[in-house]
Structure 1
């Protein structure tokens, strides 16, 4: 089953999916660019739905303004299925005084949000909300798994074995995918999503990660990483030609107010379908497009839920 904020659904009902995005996000690294407006989030979701979108995975983890309390209403209002995240990002995304509290009993926090319900970011030790997390988001560092990441990866692996949930990994600059899989060796690669591979278009590690069984996340376009956007379709073509079209996930990764179309910026969440998916259809055909946007997300977020 796939765990959404409105409950568990069968994988074949997930539909056309944005596999990595943010409706709400507030980072110490992006001060003044917070995604914190429910009306703007609703506008983005409605435009996404009008473009054919049916589901979205929000990778915003604990403590970063993910607004878990409003996600069910947004899903009901727009008709877009939302998969929410527990987990913890890199240390630098948090105010230093808040991080120790979150790190205390980290695996138990992940498990509780997956099995009982998400907590408000303002009340990490408060009562559970009705909506539960459907994935675990953690993050590596540039070309390495640093000490903070080692702690979060260990907690994520423990939570995986307790719940069966998928682990989604932010790769800093798209680097170190194979090292991340080694660090998560207690978890089957088929339960791991490696994010941001478009930011480091090295085709060799992409193929090796696919051969290992991991899902490969290409989640742009991004204003912050435009320098590698033009390599996206080279990467997709190489994977498809190598027989790995069944491992690819695509997402928008909207992380700042300036990147949200509803506020006059862009390109926004709908761009994933109106432009990226449209070109996938032209370049690779309907079967590959269906795999990238429908079949692969249905398998990637399908977890053997144990709680």
Structure 2
């Protein structure tokens, strides 16, 4: 039986409800100094706002070493009545110290498997998927290392691999590596940030590989392409790939939270949902928000 591993328990995929399939409650990086998501009270308020807007689940893509605050997630989930799925994995090298990365050499896949099956540190919280990252139009040695470890952990556990595409690029290189060289089934790969480089040909090619296409935003840094997202979703649906789509908010800084004056998680349901319904109809948007996340993040191997 397929399950989705949340921070509280394994649940049936259909129990997720309306899901923000790519977001962050906590995140810390040297690339975002002074903009950390590191306040449990603000995270709780954001989840409550998302719940009030009709949300029921959030998938946090924050990986190892970037301030996940896994120990805080169960209580936040209970208090808000919002399911939370936590990631293991590793982001681009720029988000870490050289010393931390050196200490992970030779044991990265084991770390991922342990966090998926035994728990994150001493928190008892088990991750539900693996998050890694590509580079700008290419895969450097770090990306190949992390994706190779992710594939090994995937083969041991069956969980999905979610991929940050830098500025939305490199999707086909990622699929060549994960699905071609490393033997990961396309339907176990989730490509994030495709809205940031709205190339319809690449998007269709990625969809043909059977992977999930995640459209996430809005984003101040990538606002120039945000407006094209409904058009891209419609084009993919008309090409027969409506069943491969996910939606998320990707809140990465404190100022982007709705409780701090930004669009935040509720924007996905307040503004993105009705805008997409105009483009592709309410039935498909409902499936994207309530059915697809359970299929993408569920596994029957754990």
TM over 0.5: yes
Q: CA deviation at 1:267?
A: 1.1
SS state of the match for residue 12, structure 1? helix
Moved more, 149-158 or 282-291: 282-291
The residue aligned with 2:24 is: 22
Distance 2:244 2:127 in 1: 23
Distance 1:229 1:55 in 2: 23
The residue aligned with 2:245 is: 248
The residue aligned with 2:97 is: 95
Stretches of structure 1 that go unaligned for 5 or more consecutive residues are 120-127
Q: CA deviation at 1:255?
A: 0.4
The residue aligned with 2:51 is: 49
Q: Are 1:259 and 2:261 counterparts?
A: no
- The TM-score with structure 2 as length reference comes to 0.96
The residue aligned with 1:211 is: 208
Q: CA deviation at 1:290?
A: 1.3
Q: CA deviation at 1:211?
A: 1.2
Distance 1:210 1:200 in 2: 15
Distance 1:251 1:100 in 2: 32
Distance 1:17 1:175 in 2: 25
SS state of the match for residue 223, structure 1? coil
Distance 1:4 1:155 in 2: 22
Q: CA deviation at 1:282?
A: 2.9
Distance 2:103 2:20 in 1: 32
Write the mapping of 1:111-150 to structure 2, written as runs, cut at 5 A. 111-119=113-121, 128-150=122-144
The residue aligned with 1:301 is: 297
Q: Is the 8 A contact 1:245 1:291 kept in 2?
A: no
Q: Are 1:59 and 2:83 counterparts?
A: no
Q: Which runs of 4+ in 1 moved over 4 A?
A: none
Distance 2:60 2:111 in 1: 18
Distance 1:151 1:283 in 2: 39
SS state of the match for residue 222, structure 2? helix
Q: Deviations over 1:239-260 (max 9, x none)?
A: 0111111101010000011211
The residue aligned with 1:123 is: none
Cα gap change, 1:103 to 1:275, in 2 (>3 Å):
farther
Q: Is the 8 A contact 1:280 1:288 kept in 2?
A: no
The residue aligned with 1:125 is: none
Q: Is the 8 A contact 1:22 1:255 kept in 2?
A: yes
Distance 2:192 2:288 in 1: 14
Write the mapping of 1:78-89 to structure 2, written as runs, cut at 5 A. 78-89=80-91
Stretches of structure 2 that go unaligned for 5 or more consecutive residues are none
SS state of the match for residue 246, structure 1? helix
* CA RMSD across the alignment: 1.0
Distance 2:294 2:28 in 1: 28
The residue aligned with 1:269 is: 265
Q: Are 1:174 and 2:176 counterparts?
A: no
